[in-house]
Amino acid sequence: MSSPVTAAEPAAVPPLPRPDLRARRRSSKGLRRGDVIWGYLLIAPTAIGLLGLSIWPAIQTFWFSFTTWGSFGGHTFSGLDNYMQVVKDPELGRSLLNTFIYTGMTLISIPLAIALAALLNRKGLRGVGVYRTLYFLPVVTLPAAISLVWKLLYNGDFGPVNALLGLVGIPGTSWLSNSHTAIYAIGIVSIWSSVGYNMVLFLAGMQSIPAEYYEAASIDGASKFRQFLRITVPLITPTTFFVAVITVINSLQAFDLVYLMVGPTSPALQSAETVVYLFYEKGIIQSQGGYAAAIAFVLLVLILIITLFQFRVQKRWVHYA
């Protein structure tokens, strides 16, 4: 937006004040004293807050991961014990598998969001605002409220999902307490609640595609669907890449829906618990902070590896203008 102004800068700004300013206010290192003092003062609250409540905690958690927590408080150094335990723990293996299933399902929201955004992106379409609001509603709704209603929808005895399936002759189940279906049922809720958010990102990406491309294509007789495949899809790949990275990072940290919809007493917990749920259970409920810290670092490494991998392969499919 500011580019026209910036481009005009050398001509528009008279050359006189600049050298004058440098001579008067800048120290020998080329810095203005006001800049330095106010720079620190303006950054101080957030910098101190983040140092104290994020960066220091991350360092401390790294230390925790090499300790064993006693039942009366106090942490004793235990070397790599926690990490040895992590490798052998079948519960962590299961929770990793569940997390991957959940992540894979959530990624389905990406093609759905692209399709919806493409439909909404049509010039002169009526009611775009209404559709966008409705699709976005789950994003702003309290997860506890979302989970509660979906628990009712999925209920094995009186849930409307089973009633609907019954109409077409498909036998239902107690979706959330059946260990074969729980994580998939949660995954569907995750798709439902993230599709609106992703759609907004894709819509923004599509609106930045120059209209001339479509104009040229339609003069050449390309159908709307062909234009979508040949123009829209390739040109939004930077957005697709970004959304995929964010979706994977967020899904690997899934907790809310699992905690709210399955919970500690469910028979399906083992086949639905995610890595962060396991972290919560070990660290907070069972006070095994050291082991939980190790789980958190395994998760961090996992996120870093997968994200790096995504950045590696992006060259093969992302088209930057």
Partner 1 sequence: MPDTAVPLRPGRRRAGTSRSSSVLIHALLILGAVIMVAPFFWELMTSLKTFAESTAVPPKIFPASPQFANFSEVFAALPFAVQFVNTVIMTVARTAGQVIFCSAAGYAFARLQFPGRGVLFILFLSVLMIPSQLFLLSQYEIMQAFGLLNTVTALALPGIFSAFGTFLMRQFFLQLPPELDEAARIDGANPFQVFWRIMMPLATNGMLALGVLTAIWSWNDLLWPLVVNNAPDKMPLSAGLATLQGQFLTNYPVLMAGSILASVPMIVLFVIFQKNMLEGIASSGIKG
Please list every residue from 155 through 194 that binds partner 1, using CB under 8 A: 157-160, 163, 166, 192
Q: Is there binding between residue 102 and partner 1 (CB under 8 A)?
A: no
**Residue 220 vs residues 103, 145, 216, 223, 279: alpha-carbon distances, Å:** 40, 50, 6, 9, 57
Stretch that binds partner 1, among 56-64, 80-88, 92-100, 173-181 (CB under 8 A): 56-64
Q: Is there binding between residue 107 and partner 1 (CB under 8 A)?
A: no
> Which of 94/132 has CB closer to partner 1?
132
Q: Is there binding between residue 301 and partner 1 (CB under 8 A)?
A: no
Q: Residue from 1, 11, 170, 321 that binds partner 1 (CB under 8 A)?
A: 1
Residue 130 Cβ vs partner 1, minimum distance, rounded to whole Å: 8
In the region spanning residues 203 to 262, those forming contacts with partner 1, defined by CB under 8 A, are 203-205, 208, 211-212, 214-215, 218-219, 224, 239, 242-243, 246, 249, 252-253, 255-256, 259-260
Q: Is there binding between residue 308 and partner 1 (CB under 8 A)?
A: no
Nearest to 150 by CA among 67, 300, 262, 268: 262
Residue 78 Cβ vs partner 1, minimum distance, rounded to whole Å: 16
Q: Could you count the other beta carbons within 10 Å of the beta carbon of residue 315?
A: 8
CA 95/CA 271 separation, integer angstroms: 8
Number of H helices, E strands in the chain: 18, 2
The two three-digit tokens of residue 258, written as one number: 């699992």
Stretch that binds partner 1, among 79-87, 96-104, 294-302, 313-321 (CB under 8 A): 294-302
Pattern 108-147, partner 1, x by CB under 8 A: --------x--xx-xxxx-x-x-xxxxxxxxxxxxxxxxx
Burial of 191 (0-12, 13-18, 19+ CB in 10 A): middle
Q: Residue from 42, 97, 229, 313 that binds partner 1 (CB under 8 A)?
A: 42
- Which residues partner with 108 through β-bridges? none
Q: Residue from 176, 292, 294, 318 that binds partner 1 (CB under 8 A)?
A: 292
Q: How does DSSP assign 119-179, residue by residue?
A: HHTSTT-TTHHHHHHHHHHHHHS-HHHHHHHHHHHH-TTT-HHHHHHHHTT-----TTTST
CA 264/CA 244 separation, integer angstroms: 30
In the region spanning residues 254 to 273, those forming contacts with partner 1, defined by CB under 8 A, are 255-256, 259-260, 263, 265
CA 206/CA 285 separation, integer angstroms: 46
Q: Residue from 174, 251, 279, 294 that binds partner 1 (CB under 8 A)?
A: 279
Residue linked to tokens 């927590």: 69
The two three-digit tokens of residue 100, written as one number: 């991957």
Q: Is there binding between residue 291 and partner 1 (CB under 8 A)?
A: no
Residue 105 Cβ vs partner 1, minimum distance, rounded to whole Å: 16
Residue 285 Cβ vs partner 1, minimum distance, rounded to whole Å: 10
